[in-house]
Structures are given as C-alpha cells and as structure tokens.
Structure 1
Amino acid sequence: MSAIAPSERPSVLLVEDDDGVRRATQLLLHGHGYRVRSHRAAASALADPAAPEAAYLLADYRLPDGDGIDLLQAMRATGWSGHAVLMTGYPHAGLAEAARQSGYAAFLEKPLRTHDLLAALSRQQPNMPAA
C-alpha cells in the first residue's frame, strides 16, 4: 500500500484563534490524512492564496476580527463552494440555526471530539442539532 501524495490529500482551511486548539486540531487532521492551512483570524485566512482551493473550511465562531459566519459569507462571495464546519466553545440559542442558514454543513461544540470532527468533515453524519 502506498502513501497518499500530499497533493491528493483533502485540504482544510482551519481558522481558530486559540493557539493550542489550532495546533492540536491541525495535528489531528494531518494525522488523519488532511492537508491543513491554519490561521488565527479571518483576514489572514481570506488573504491566503490557497484558500480558494480548500475542500473544507473549519472555522471557530468567535474570531479576533469577526466571526465564522461572516467568514463563510466572505468566502462564498469569492466563489468558494467547499464544505464548511463551524465550531464554538460558546454555544448559544440560535447559533446552530444561524450556522445552518449561512451555509455551514455541521456545527460542533468544543471541546471537539475526534469522531465528531472527522464525521463532519467526511460528510458521513453532519452534526447540526435542532435549534
């Protein structure tokens, strides 16, 4: 069995402002076969020249320069059509529905569980709780 070439690995644009969570998530995803470009803020993610080619967006809701919903809207405005997953450590009433309405396929609460994250990215079982 041969290894998957880096160019054939699915790509994830990870936007998370907590350095520890971002690094741990990046390592986890890399270990499961994803190429990961990570950023701590929406502006740097949007400025990343590789962002349009990302298959997935994994974004935190609270970012230092906005929120994950605005980030997805900005990416969609550029023509990005990938699969998006929103995560948060601060869930509140209506956030899951707002995520769904804005185009997120999945909504995850932190701390992230590996199986939930991988399922959300692989589209096996989207985790969008009823609002």
Structure 2
Amino acid sequence: MTPKRTVQLVDDEDSIRKSAGFMLKTSGFAVQTYASGIAFLKAVKTAEPGCILLDVRMPGMDGLEVQEVLAERGITMPVIVLTGHGDVGIAVRVMKAGAVDFLEKPFEKSALLASIGVAFSRLDKSDARSLREAEARVRVAVLTPREREVLIGL
C-alpha cells in the first residue's frame, strides 16, 4: 500500500478548511489544516512534506507573505494559491514566486485535483534530483586526491 500524499491546507475560513479538507480526504489525501499563515509557519518544520494550499487573504500574515517566508527558509513544498478575491496582479506575483497554480474560490474539484497532481509531480522531481545530488556527493567523497584534482580540472 502506498502512503497517502499530504496536503497542507492554510485558510482562515473554517468552512473552506472543512469542505476542502473533506473533499481531499475522500479523494485519498492526508490533510493537515491551519487557520492562519502564522500557525502554519510555526508548524512547517515538523509538517509532513507535501503540497500547500494557501489562501491569499488572511489576517495577520497574508498568503503572499507566507510564500515569501517559505522561500526564505528554503522550504520547497509546492504551493497552490487559493483566493476569493483574485486579480491579475496577485496572480502574477504568486506565479513569479513559484506557485504551481492560482485558483479562485469557489474552485472546481477537478481543477484543484489537477493542480495538486502537478504539485506532487513537481515534488517527485525535486526528490529525485535531491537523491541524485546525494549520490553524487557520496561518489565524490570516496575519490582519491588525484581523482578529485582531475575532476576539478574537467
């Protein structure tokens, strides 16, 4: 049995957390919910790796600020931004910051699931790249000094 993929749902609206959380759970995902960006950032170090569904407008710290803090901390979980008050300017900013998608509420289940699929695909590629990098570091570590010298020369 393959482990469930985890979706981190960050939204200040209780109704969105409940309805989207239920829909995601019945679609086979594990879901962790947070009522604010601040609560999510406090827990992100111990959070299960996965995809982040992030609301834009939240009190305290909005989704754009949360996305910036994640980048500053080097947290590379893919982000899908949700909003009930979207405009082109915000969409451009979140996409330039690396978001997988920008969805307006209310969103279609199929659109959300498609975006989550893209996010996990991106995460899988990142994991594979990290694994290759780790293997390369191990290979380089066992080289003799002369072999390292030749490698640097290449």
Same fold (TM over 0.5): yes
Q: Which 5+ residue runs of structure 1 have no aligned equivalent?
A: 125-131
With over 3 angstroms needed to count, the CA separation of the structure-2 counterparts of 1:24 and 1:57, relative to structure 1, is same
Match of 1:116 in 2: 111
Q: Which has the higher helix share?
A: 2
What stretches of structure 1 move > 6 A for 4+ residues in a row?
Answer: none
Q: Of residues 62, 75, 79 in structure 2, which corresponds to 1:80? A: 75
Partner of 1:66, secondary structure, is: coil
Letter in 2 for 1:70: E
What amino acid is aligned across from residue 61 of structure 2 in structure 1?
A: G
* Larger strand share, 1 or 2: 1
1:23 and 2:18 are equivalent in the alignment: yes
The higher radius of gyration belongs to 2
TM-score (norm. length: structure 1): 0.83
Q: For residues 67-109 of structure 1, what are the alpha-carbon distances to aligned partners after superposition, in whole Å with 9 as ceiling and x for unaligned?
A: 1111112122222112110010001231111111111110000
Match of 2:131 in 1: none
- Where 1:91 maps in the other structure, the secondary structure is coil
Distance 1:15 1:100 in 2: 18
Report the count of equivalent residues. 118
Q: How far apart are residue 54 of structure 1 and its match?
A: 2.5
- 1:40 Cα deviation from its structure 2 partner: 1.0
Deviations, residues 43-65 of structure 1 (Å, cap 9, x unaligned): 110111533x3210100000111
Which range moves more in the overlay, 101-110 or 70-79?
Answer: 70-79
Q: Identify the match of residue 50 of structure 1 among 46, 52, 55.
A: 46
RMSD, matched Cα: 1.5
